[in-house]
Each structure stands twice: as C-alpha cells, then as structure tokens.
A and B are shown apart, each in its own frame.
Chain A
Amino acid sequence: MNSLEHAGVDVMFGIPGGAILPAYDPIFDSKIRHILVRHEQGAGHAATGYAQATGKVGVCIATSGPGATNLVTPLADAQMDSVPIVAITGQVPGPAIGTDAFQEADIRGITMPITKHNYLITDPDQIPAAISEAFHIASTGRPGPVLVDIAKDALQKMTSFAWPKQRELAGYRLQLDPEVGAINDAARLIAQSQKPVFYVGGGVIKANAAKELFRLAELVGAPVVTTLMARGAFPDSHPLHLGMPGMHGTVAAVTALQKADLLITLGARFDDRVTGKLSTFAVNARVIHADIDPAEIGKNRFADVALIGDLKRTMASLVPALEKEFTKSKPDLTLWWKQMGGLRSTYPLGYDHPADGLSPQYVIERIGAISGPDSIYCAGVGQHQMWASQFIKYEKPRTWLNSGGLGTMGYAVPAAMGAKVGAPDTSVWAIDGDGCFQMTNQELVTCAINKIPIKVAVINNESLGMVRQWQTLFYSSRYSNTDLHSKRIPDFVKLADAMGCIGLRCESREEVDATINKAMEINDAPVVIDFSVNRDAMVWPMVAAGTSNDEIMIAREMAPDWGSQEL
C-alpha cells in the first residue's frame, strides 16, 4: 500500500480474497480510494476506462486464482489497445507455489503474452521496486498493462520500506526523439506528395498530441482520417477531416487511404480492420510511419520512412522541417481535395428510419447531439459501437472509449464507471448493446452504491446485432443463436431498478429527445435507458472481412458510383 501511495495512485478497483487480504487491511486506513466492484473483470475494465479518460495509470487489484484469472480479459484488452493499467494480484504463499494449492493459478505465466510485462514477487523487499517499475513500464513508451503478482507471505512479512531512488531496467529503453535525418526525409516526402493523407491512430491520444496534430494537419492541408481508436484526436467538425477509415469507415476516408500516394501514419498500426486485404491496401502509397514502438514499423506494411519516437515530439519537430521544405515547394492539393471532398459530400454517413420501431442510429445520434462533445462516450462491441463511432461527433481526445483491438463485449459499463471516477464532473455515457450489457451490468450495483452516476443507453435490438448482420449478409439470413429475446427477458427497466439505478424505456422516435433529456437531468444515480430499436438495421458502409477496401459497399449490394472519376 505504501508503494501504491508512492506511485501516486488515488483510486483503485478491486475485490479482496484470501491471498490479497494482507494488502487490503491497510487500505482501510489509506488515502487511496478503493472501489469494491462486483466482478474482477469489472475492476480491470474500470481501470482501463479510468486510464483512457484521464491519461493516468488505472489500477485494479484482485486475489489469487479465480480473482486473478478474471482479470485476464481486461488485461488482454488493455494490451491490444495500449492502455496503461497496473494489476495487483495476491498469490498463494511462496512455499505453496507450484503445489496446486487452494486458489492457486500461475497468473504470471497466464498473462505473459497479454501484458507489457509482469512480475511474481516472493520477497517483501522487492515489492517497492516492482511497483515502481510497473507504473513506469505501464505509462511510458507504448503504454500497456503490467501485472504484479505478490505472494501472500511477502505481503505479510514485516520489512522496512524503501522506495527505490532509481530503477534498474537495463532492457527497457525508450527512443523519444526520432532521428533528424528521418524527420527531414519525411518532410521531403510530404512536400513532394500530390495525394497525402494523415492516417491517425490511437497513439496520438496516448501521446497527448492532439494539439501538435492540429498544427501539423493545418500546415500540410491534407485530408485527415481518424481510426476507431483515434476518434476525437482531431475534431470531427474540422474541414480537413474525412472521418473514420476501415471496415465501417466513410467512403471518403477509406478511399483517401486507398488512393493516396503518401500515408502519413501517426500512432496507427495497419490493423486488418483498417487495411482490408493487405495486399490491395493503398498500393500506390509511400508510407511514413511514426510510432513509439519500433516493432510496429514494417510489421504489416513496409515503411519508407520510420519515425520512431514520442508522437508529440515527432510532430513538433516535423513542423519546422516542413516549413523549411514548403519554402522550396508546396504541392497543390486542389485536385486531390476536389476528389475527396466530392466523395465526402456524395457519400455522407446516413441511415433510414424503419417503418416499425426505432432507428438505432437516430438514438445514438441524438445522445451525441444532446449530451454534446464535452461528454465521454464508452461503447461495447458490435453494431452499436460502430454507430457510436459514426454518428456521435467527437471534438476532443479522451471522449471516446471503446475496445478496439480485442473487441471485448461487456467493456462499456465498467469502463464508463472507471471514466466517471476519473472525470466526475463530466457526463459519461455507456452506449451498450443488449448482448454486451448482459455480460457486465452487475457493475451498475457498484455505481449505485458508490455514487458513480453514469448513463447507460441499451440499444436493444434483442439480438447479437453484428453477428446477425453477418448472418444476413453471408449466411443466407440463417440466424443461428443470435436471437437474445431481450425485449421480453430481462426487463432492463426493472433490472436497473433492482440494481439501484433509474430505469427508463423508450420505444418511439417522438420519445427519444425527452428520454435523453430526462437522463441528463439525473445526476445522483446511474440511469439505464432501454431503447427498443429495430433489429434489422445494419452498419454501413462496409468492407467485408478479407476483401479489398476497393470493394466497399454503401448498402447491401451497392457499391459507390465511381463513375469515370480517375483517382
């Protein structure tokens, strides 16, 4: 506990148990706020939500065995999305390790491939160094989860506390500034490009570099696309913004990447959901790849120029280098903008209002419009997540939290709880699906008891909507096991009530604004709104998995009309 206080922890999420009890006793007297969750997975996602909303390290704590294994999903989630969290777990006493003792699980072994680093500590004198290193590793470089597993007897033994003055991490080296030569090469490529695009990933948000991006983008004047993890890194209202690329990206954003002659890649990792079929992705583009993690360079796509370093510093040094290049020559992007601007106005995101039932896109769009760009929006995984990334307008970093890499259903409610704890004066919405919501809604009890008034919008289409959409499109509408019947069971309003929340129901377009406004007025309890929506709504545009981005569809069997436009 002393170590955690030294590391600057102000809040942590967890559940006690036998092996971690010695660490829980001092929590009673500590200034650190501990939030007792209902399931360790909730603690892990809450730590992630807290970290994503605040930029600080999120902390979760659990006991050995099942307590620790319940953290596996959130750790894998944080690893995929590069979120700085530290997990503290109790372990059976040192002499019992390896004997299949009660509640023993080799959590260090289990989490090796899904953490940035992890520790098993059996010597009490090593606890301060391990905690100090864990926070350092989690929060620097490419952020990520670090697990510290501590044997019960190490937690119990009396020892003198000494916070390490410096860390001994011979193998942990950070390159913060890219090489000057590479910066100049990048500037030269940008100055020569006729069709550049800023391909912006979540790294820009992690590096707190939105301001630097803004300056750089305005200097170059090139189109900007923000990936699912980067929504909010660049204002949606900005004229340079073409929206989100990828499987459910806008036609303009997908096509801009596809037809570019230069990708200025900033903290993005050429994920398959963005590139589509890799061999056909942006075939004519040269690539500038800026990332803090050298292993991302050339992992999926060859980089012509690698800028390894902190993005804030990278972009800050790109600006003067570019200003110098631009005095020699600045390319005319008028034609490129004519093409991309044309696509943006011809193919905006849109949806239909169904004859029966509520349009889910409309609900989400209205939440975004009413709650506004200062609110934080968390999503689960599936159709509602894609609609929330498409139809809410993000203007600021750290206002859009979701599980992008791992795609963890059930992320939204606990992440929103964590975000609200980190940003108590901000309205925090969990936009959730009825499938996702049923995976982790028990944390609403935690929210109700601990006065964490989040707002949950259950976009209830009584099915596993995204899977159902794939069944509609690729499995001849054979809806095998995607019908959840959740308009019948459970009754989400009663469930909310039972968990100490305010439950609201909304079934028609006319009620949408009034219901959202009512939720906005409640700030002393969590609110759950059951939006009963039409189940046949689909997420468009779409690039089917494994196909080329060139085959983007704006609706079922409907490709954009490329006309005679030579891109």
Chain B
Amino acid sequence: MALHTLAVLVENSPGVLARVASLFSRRGYNIDSLAVGPTEDPKISRMTIVLNLEGHALDQVSAQLFKLINVIGIQEMKPAESYERELLLVKVGSNGPALDEVARRYGARVVDKSDNSVVVELVAESDEISALLSDLAPFGVKELVQSGAIALERGVKTLSDRVREEQGLSNPDEGNVAESATADYQN
C-alpha cells in the first residue's frame, strides 16, 4: 500500500462533495485526506484526495470518480512532478527559547503566544509535519488541527489545460454525436 494523491476538478454545484464521499463510502475506498477549494474558474472547484491504495485500485477509483457526472477531470499528482503541501496549526503547552528553536528549524511560524501556550503554524509536506509534531511532543501538544494535502503540478501545464485537450481530442463533435444518440433512443 502506498499513498497516492489525486487532483480532481469538479463542477461547483450543490451535492458534489456528498457524491464523492458517497462513492468512497459505498465502494469501501479509504481516504487519507481530502481538501476542497475554489479555483481560478468560479464554476469549478478542485479536490485533492490522498488515498492509501495499490496501483490497480487507484485506476479503479479514478474510473469510478470519473463516472460521476460532476467530475470534470482527474490527474494523479506524482511526487516527482508536483508540489504537495499541508497546513498544521498546533497549540503547545509551554513557551520559551527551546520551543522557538524547534519552530525555527522547521521554518514554522509562531502565530500566537500567551503565558502557557503558543500556536505554531507550519506549511510543509506530510513527512515534515510529522517530524515537527514528534519534536514538539516533549513540550506537550494540547490541540492540533491539520488540513488535507493540496497539490499542484510543476511546470507550465495545468489540469484544466489537460481537460480541455482531452475533451477536444476524444470527441471533436461530442455535442452532435450525443444528440443523435439520444434521438436514436427515443425512436
């Protein structure tokens, strides 16, 4: 088993998240993390889904996801070809230079300080976040919150470019073909 990250473009319409969640639940796929947010196009949202799966199962998940009418495009974000980041906010029950030193080593920011606690923020890859957390453990972690991973492909290519290309290549006159197929069914 290994972690795989999928970037999924979906229509920004009600119920889309429920559809994706329902699919994962029904087919028994385990989600490691899920992050959803807007994109450069207000009609489209982007989900980043991290899954713990074997290679073959990943193809099946992608194929099943792609069957959802509101899913526009899917791409695996391979580690070598993409940037992947998570956000950690952690409340630690002590204050002092030792803690500041740990934060500094990880490039983490101390965003809130009071007598007996500080809040540390780190944007990093998953491994680094785990490492910081284990280094913070001796200081006493009181509460933590972590976002799902988000990922972006390196280089000039974008996922929406790919989607447009696929649509163009696979079905140049899709509208017409689909129209006639429906007409057949009704005759």
Contact = CB atoms under 8 A, between A and B. Distances in A.
B69 A172 contact: yes
A298 B70 CA distance: 23
Interface stretch (B13-21, B104-112, B122-130, B136-144): B13-21
Contacts of B116: none
A135 B183 CA distance: 10
A206 to B, nearest CB: 10
Q: For the side of the interface on B, what is the size category?
A: 35 or more
Interface stretch (A173-181, A192-200, A267-275): A173-181
Interface stretch (B30-38, B46-54, B78-86, B169-177): B169-177
Q: For the side of the interface on A, what is the size category?
A: 20 to 34
Contacts, number: 83
Contacts of A95: none
Given A108-B15, A171-B10, A113 B22 contact: yes
B29 to A, nearest CB: 13
Interface string B4-29: 00000011001100110011001000
A297 B56 CA distance: 11
Nearest to B64: A295
B60 A112 contact: no
A519 interface: no
Contacts of B149: none
A176 B177 contact: yes
A113 B23 contact: yes
Contact of B60 (A56, A140, A298): A298
A171 B178 contact: no
A492 B19 CA distance: 44
B66 A174 contact: no
A345 interface: no
A514 B72 CA distance: 60
Contacts of A135: 182, 186
Nearest to B185: A139
Contacts of A528: none
Contacts of B171: 173-176
Contacts of A55: 185
B170 A175 contact: yes
Nearest to A119: B15
A294 interface: yes
Contact of B26 (A8, A113, A139, A297): A113
Given A108-B15, A112-B15, A139 B181 contact: yes
B186 A298 contact: no
B186 A56 contact: yes
A136 interface: yes
Contacts of B18: 109, 112
Nearest to B59: A298
A46 to B, nearest CB: 18
Interface string B135-176: 000000000000000000000000000010011001100110
A58 to B, nearest CB: 11
B22 A112 contact: yes
Given A108-B15, A171-B70, A174-B177, A294 B182 contact: no
Contacts of A174: 171, 174, 177-178, 181
B118 interface: no
B26 A117 contact: no
A170 to B, nearest CB: 5
A57 B64 contact: no
A299 interface: yes
B60 A171 contact: no
A84 interface: yes
B133 interface: no
A171 B72 contact: yes
A340 B113 CA distance: 81
Contacts of A167: 175, 178
15 contacts: A8-B186, A84-B185, A112-B15, A112-B18, A113-B26, A135-B182, A139-B181, A139-B185, A171-B10, A171-B70, A171-B72, A174-B171, A176-B181, A295-B67, A299-B60
Instruction: Please list the 10 inter-chain residue pairs (A to B) with the smallest Cβ-Cβ separation, ordered nearest first.
Output: A295-B63, A139-B185, A8-B186, A117-B69, A171-B72, A140-B181, A112-B22, A113-B26, A170-B72, A171-B71
